Amino acid sequence: MFAEALDLVHAGDVARVRASAELGRSALREARRDGVRAMASDMELRSVAAEAAGMARLTDRRLQGEIDHAMTVIDDYPAVFEAWVQRRIERGHVDVVVRVGAGVPDEVRDSFAEAAIGVCERDVPSRVRGALEALAAKLHPQVFTERHKTAAAERCVRVFHGTDGMSNLVANLPTVIAAGMLDRLTQMGQSVKDARAAGAGGAGAAGEDVAGAAEPADTRTMDQLRADILGDLVLGGAPVVDPTYGTDRAGGLGAIRARVQVAVTAETLMGRDEHPAEAVGGALIDADTVRQLAGQVSEWDRLFIDPVTRTPVEIDTYRPTASMKKLLTARDQHCRFPGCRRAAIRCELDHTIDHALGGHTHIFNLAHLCQRHHSMKQFTKWEVRQVGGGVLEWTSPLGRVYREDVPIPAVCFTIDTPDPPPDRPPF
């Protein structure tokens, strides 16, 4: 019954797109018959959309948007539309392909569409945008660096007034600047919150002020703190480059520096190609900016990413990345000692082979252990090793072997992990 309902919804969506596209084409045919072009053709489309909207009890803007989108899908992306009709991809995939493909030149659109279908067939609509943007950048005949320079020349700040005395301040900035601003605002917000919490040490349990409390507890959310601090910085700052870089006084907000995590290939870093780098979150950064950033850092953390799933699997530093932590939490679900079911979110991430002894910060050398069993692994004769695929094999002091398999998988490992090189310890 449910499958039949989905079939009906799919058929209805396809029919609606076809009908919307035909409605738009009929308007354009009518405009051409009267010998009009450009603005007049758009007026004809608006008129048709308004007429149809009246019958459908929708706004004409919304319906004209649907008409434009339908014409783009059917006329500019016929292969994508056909893949959707055949149920190889979903409606959400089509919408993402069209949005990302808006910047793809006509001469490579067909190649982009065919490759995009393959990407969409492998994942859900909400997770393909990053891969499609990287694909569009790769196929574009103009290198990403040059396109970024053109786009950066149009950077701007605008205000959109809303209701209830509120407005949106929108800044169109290079990705690395925007990410750095958000990171610094977050750090500053946490610093303010911590300082107010320390000052409110004498406050009551419910947060009320009591005699002797230096500061009331700060109850603002992080979003509110970021917005307030941004206003403080913009209204109270000066339009100059910060001359105190690296020489700020200890403590306080002045000591906070933004951090941006970027994944870049060695070839791009050395100038052998102009492929864009990837910032955390999937946004692309032009090669010139990445090389400039690289020249300002004193040390590097190598991050190894699975070439198929784009999942971080190893990093040089002791602490795993946020993405690795999320993957491991989903994989383990609980403490990985046999019989223990303490939730992973209440456990610690342990290097199976100690980091101090050469163990890598790799997803197959990490596992969640509760504090009790983490300490037991360190200070007793219990031993553990990872045998592949996230499976742990424990050996008791008496020699008994217990295999702690991964639970019913929340994460599916779709490819075999190759054996580690001889110069590296097994995971």
Which residue reads 């989903």 in tokens? 330
User: Which pLDDT score, from 0 to 100, does residue 201 have?
Assistant: 58
User: Which pLDDT score, from 0 to 100, does residue 257 have?
Assistant: 57
pLDDT tens for each residue of 188-222: 888 888 777 766 654 444 444 444 455 567 788 99
Asked whether 155 and 170 are in contact (CB, 8 A), the reply is no
User: Which pLDDT score, from 0 to 100, does residue 226 have?
Assistant: 92
Residues 93 and 90: their CA atoms lie apart, in Å, by 5
Residues 270 and 254: their CA atoms lie apart, in Å, by 34
The interaxial angle of helices 91-100 and 129-139, nearest 10 deg, is: 40
**pLDDT by residue for the chain (427 residues), tens digit each?**
777 888 899 999 999 999 989 988 887 777 666 555 444 566 667 777 777 777 777 777 788 888 999 999 999 999 999 999 999 999 999 999 999 999 899 999 999 999 999 999 988 898 899 889 889 988 998 888 888 899 889 999 998 888 878 889 999 998 888 888 888 898 888 888 877 776 665 444 444 444 445 556 778 899 999 999 998 888 877 554 444 444 444 444 444 455 666 777 777 888 888 888 877 655 788 888 888 877 766 666 666 766 666 667 777 777 887 778 888 888 888 899 888 888 888 898 999 999 888 888 888 899 999 988 998 888 888 999 998 888 999 998 888 888 877 654 444 444 444 444 544 444 3
* Other Cβ atoms closer than 10 A to 152: 15
The interaxial angle of helices 222-236 and 175-199, nearest 10 deg, is: 110
